[in-house]
């Protein structure tokens, strides 16, 4: 289906979801979902490394991507993870030798970890799967610092990618991490000079570079992001910060105080999010979003869907227990809930999508699992016959 859509719309102008009507259940499938270029590249390098070095110990700095099925498969093949996603070290550096292979994940890593690997005589760039769009953010941060700007990183301070971006950014620019619009409003009040004394330290202490001086460094700013955050939110954060600087310095001086960094937004994340907006607009009785529970980009897709309909965030088809029961992750409580009576008995309309780190095969399994709950559903072959299968074969 994805290949057929690409063939029919190579410029990706049509964001409308595909509709698969099986009779008693109808799926609306997002125009864009699943692996982006950075994830595909990381996985390809990871498995080629395993194939090329069967006799060497292979470590990954942390999870290759935030998908439990992919990471479990890698562990089953002998891979070991040095860090947990939140930065806890599982394997001490002293256990590694120069003969070991260490693979850097798609999120990238910090300069401090790179230095630790070099101290063991392990080159951190030989097996580096860092996403090019993450590296683009690092490059832009460096350019901002060289031009005399401070950097605001829109991201989650404990996320691997944000930790890596922060590590690179502080080498050339005063840097502060801003998580959301609420924190942005606080930062804007500090910029305008309207905040109470100590506000910056209370909200951003521990999330800014050493020696960050709000009075000095919040006068010239550029905004970059953790590439898995909502692009629309990053744009809004940049807009609000720009307006705060206009309020402080005037529109005629804004070129000296605000840098346009819109070119750093990840196109793939943006495409998936825009496709989710179109999926929601189509309407459904419920949505199923598939992905790892610690996946940032997937959680944002869940947020968008939850605003419009009951949404079930699942990691794979095993979470669909029966027609009456489903296990799903609750973003608010950070725990797995069980819901009953989740699926309409007839004429069920199900919106289906997944995060950028979820393999298509898992989405297939989820779709087939839901189909198996309807005895009188049309076969997958019959439904696909309604689409240009010859285009799929040709690609």
Q: Which residues are catalytically annotated?
A: 161
Q: Are 272 and 33 in contact (CB under 8 A)?
A: yes
Compute the Cα dihedral for 379, 8, 42, 233 and give only its sign.
negative
Distance CA 8, CA 342 (A): 35
Token look-up 């550029």 returns 222
Q: Is residue 131 a contact partner of residue 108, using CB atoms and an 8 Å limit? A: yes
Collapsed DSSP state (helix, strand, coil) of residue 274: helix
Strand partners, 223: 152
Say which residues have a Cβ less than 8 Å from residue 163's Cβ, sequence separation at least 6.
87, 110, 157
Rounded to whole angstroms, how far apart are CA atoms 64 and 90? 15
How does 353-365 read in b/e, with b if 16+ C-beta sit within 10 Å? bbbbbbbeebbeb
Q: What backbone torsions phi and psi does residue 300 show, to the nearest 5 degrees? A: -70, -35
Whether 165 contacts 138, CB under 8 Å:
yes
> Which letter does DSSP use for residue 87 in this model?
S
Q: Whole-angstrom Cα distance, residue 179 to residue 207? A: 10
Cα–Cα distance measured from residue 300 to residue 95, given in angstroms and rounded to the nearest whole number: 37
Question: E strands along the chain, which residues?
Answer: 18-21, 25-29, 58-60, 80-81, 101-103, 150-154, 175-178, 221-225, 258-259, 286-290, 311-314, 325-330, 335-340, 348-354
């Amino acid at each position: 289906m994805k290949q057929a859509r690409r063939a029919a719309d190579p410029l990706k102008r049509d964001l409308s979801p595909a509709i698969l009507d099986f009779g008693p259940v109808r799926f609306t499938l997002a125009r864009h979902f699943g692996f982006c270029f950075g994830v595909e590249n990381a996985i390809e390098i990871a498995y080629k490394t395993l194939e090329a070095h069967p006799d060497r110990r292979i470590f990954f700095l942390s999870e290759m991507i935030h998908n439990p099925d992919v990471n479990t498969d890698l562990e089953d093949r002998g891979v070991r993870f040095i860090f947990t996603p939140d930065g806890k070290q599982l394997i001490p550096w002293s256990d590694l030798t120069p003969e070991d292979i260490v693979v850097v994940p798609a999120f990238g890593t910090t300069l401090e970890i790179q230095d630790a690997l070099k101290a063991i005589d392990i080159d951190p760039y030989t097996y580096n799967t860092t996403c090019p769009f993450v590296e683009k953010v690092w490059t832009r941060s460096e350019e901002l610092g060289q031009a005399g700007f401070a950097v605001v990183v829109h991201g989650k301070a404990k996320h691997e990618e944000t930790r890596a971006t922060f590590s690179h950014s502080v080498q050339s620019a005063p840097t502060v991490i801003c998580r959301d619009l609420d924190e942005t409003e606080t930062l804007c009040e500090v910029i305008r000079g309207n905040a109470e004394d100590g506000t910056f330290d209370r909200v951003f202490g521990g999330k800014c570079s050493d020696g960050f001086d709000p009075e000095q460094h919040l006068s010239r700013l550029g905004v970059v992001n953790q590439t898995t955050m909502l692009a629309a939110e990053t744009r809004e954060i940049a807009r609000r910060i720009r307006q705060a600087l206009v309020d402080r310095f005037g529109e005629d001086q804004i070129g000296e105080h605000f840098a346009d960094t819109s070119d750093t937004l990840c196109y793939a994340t943006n495409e998936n999010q825009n496709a989710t907006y179109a999926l929601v607009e189509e309407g459904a009785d419920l949505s199923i979003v598939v992905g790892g529970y610690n996946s940032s980009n997937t959680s944002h897709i869940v947020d968008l869907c939850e605003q419009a309909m009951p949404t079930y965030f699942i990691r794979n088809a095993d979470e669909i227990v029966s027609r009456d029961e489903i296990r799903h992750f609750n973003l608010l409580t950070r725990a797995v809930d069980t819901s009953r009576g989740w699926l309409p008995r007839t004429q069920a309309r199900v919106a289906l999508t997944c995060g950028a780190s979820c393999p298509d095969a898992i989405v297939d399994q989820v779709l087939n699992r839901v189909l198996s709950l309807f005895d009188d559903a049309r076969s997958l072959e019959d439904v696909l016959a309604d689409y240009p299968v010859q285009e799929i074969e040709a690609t």
